Amino acid sequence: MPTEVILPKVDMDMATGQISRWFAEEGAKVKKGDVLFEIETDKAAMEIDAPASGTLRDVTGKERVDIPVGEPVAWIYADDEVYAPISPLVGEMSAKPTEGGAVPPTSHSVAPPSGLPAISPTRGEISQSQGPARATPLARRLAREANLDLSAIAGSGPRGRVVRADVEAAVAGKGAATPAQTAAEIPAELPSAPSPAPRPMPDDQVLKLFAEGSYELVPHDNMRKTIARRLVEAKSTIPHFYLTLDCELDALLALRTQLNAAAPMRKTDKGEAPAYKLSVNDMVIKAMAMALMAVPDANASWTESAMVKHKHADVGVAVSIPGGLITPIIRHADEKTLSVISNEMKDLASRARSRKLKPEEYQGGTTAVSNLGMFGIKDFAAVINPPHATILAVGAGEERAVVKKGEIRIATVMSVTLSTDHRAVDGALGAELLGAFKRLIENPMGMLV
């Protein structure tokens, strides 16, 4: 029996993925462990190995097309196996029912229409008239909230899958009981329910506002779709509140200059170079990690059943990449030296921009830092990235007039804003955390001991 090659789930949020390129062609001889293709998810590109040795056949996974997780994209035939070709559209043809409506259970293959190859039942031959309706998770949730029977909705997605637009159309045209809810089952008075979340303006209504020919449509890639979904989810499910204060940077900048000047030299391919070069952001990461350890109740994540109290500070750092952003994580940042954090951050950022991060390098974390200071942004508020309960938005350091003991002087000041999940961190606790961060930034020698 040939070995099925599926599109694997390489990210906990991954529902679909794209094959960016194949490394083996139809009919190629492959060995177990050879790289077959590269997956492009919303966050990274990963190489997928062959699960068996043999001949690669029936390569149905097309490049640059959204493919559901778990979908077969090819098969590998062992050298002693007889090859039986299949339809290029795997899974889209269902077994043809008999006159009695049942699918013949024992036939080895289904007689196809004239001119089409046979389909082997070992490859997931399923009658679409049986089993639960095919639908996306979002469509299932919307149908459940609207008390609609999915099997009564005609799907417009791939292979008849019910998608969000189908459910919304059914809701808009719902004037009588659905097949799953007869008139006898409808109560005279329904209990009040929360108002549904406002829906965005439909695409066609948006496009009507602009003159035809005055724009071009660029389809969303997986990364942009995931960013949009997670941001809407975060803002609609997490009760954000914000705390802002100013930190003086002069002592930190002076220490940074001293530490960089004292960096030992090491030999590289490009000649001698310093062993490290600290940035302000490296010191911000360290200060945030140490602040969380000083205020452990703020180093938490919310779940419906319990508060998750973390024993270490794993700090995610927002990195801009083409088409979006990703948040690689400095694990145990509270225990690492500034030089280790600096070099690790440079490596993570470089691999993030080339989409070479492993899932464990950007999943999880206990907090995050987003720094737009290099763009001259004075202050801003960031959106919390679950499962974090906090995220620190860092603005630019700039010279400002400050008053000390009744005298005006010039200081380099940086504004920071802490976005907090009010379910996990209350106002006073958030203020305590931000105060601990400010003390470390303004007295940076504390980060060296």
Q: Residue range 255-265: average pLDDT?
A: 96
Backbone angles phi, psi at 306, to 5 degrees: -165, 160
Query: Which residues form the catalytic set?
Result: 422
Helix (H, G, I), strand (E, B), or coil: what is residue 330? strand
- pLDDT, one tens digit per residue, over 40-79 is 766 667 889 999 999 999 898 888 888 888 889 998 999 8
Q: What is the pLDDT of residue 197?
A: 60
Helix (H, G, I), strand (E, B), or coil: what is residue 72? strand
**Chain position carrying tokens 């068996």:** 52
| Residue 272 · residue 266 · CB < 8 Å | yes
Mean pLDDT, the chain, whole residue set: 83
- pLDDT, one tens digit per residue, over 184-241 is 444 444 445 555 666 788 898 999 999 999 999 998 887 888 888 889 999 999 999 9
pLDDT at 443 over 90: yes
Which token pair is 382?
A: 């960031």
pLDDT at 422 over 50: yes
Which token pair is 419?
A: 């976005």
The dihedral over CA atoms of 420, 426, 428, 430, expressed in degrees to the nearest 10, equals -20
Q: What is the pLDDT of residue 93?
A: 35
**Type of residue numbered 45:** A
Q: How far is CA 279 from CA 49, 116, 328, 414, 435, in A?
A: 38, 63, 17, 14, 22
**Type of residue numbered 274:** P
Q: How far is CA 67 from CA 8, 57, 259, 277, in A?
A: 10, 18, 50, 42
Q: How far is CA 349 from CA 318, 321, 341, 354, 444, in A?
A: 9, 9, 12, 9, 24
pLDDT at 101 over 80: no
* CA geometry: angle 188, 191, 192, nearest 5 deg: 130
**Which among 233, 241, 296, 243 has a CA at the least distance from the CA of 423?**
241
Helix (H, G, I), strand (E, B), or coil: what is residue 32? coil
Q: Residue range 331-342: average pLDDT?
A: 97
Q: What is the pLDDT of residue 86?
A: 63
Q: How far is CA 411 from CA 248, 336, 341, 370, 375, in A?
A: 7, 29, 27, 23, 20
**Which among 327, 321, 320 has a CA at the least distance from the CA of 387?**
327
Q: What is the pLDDT of residue 154?
A: 81
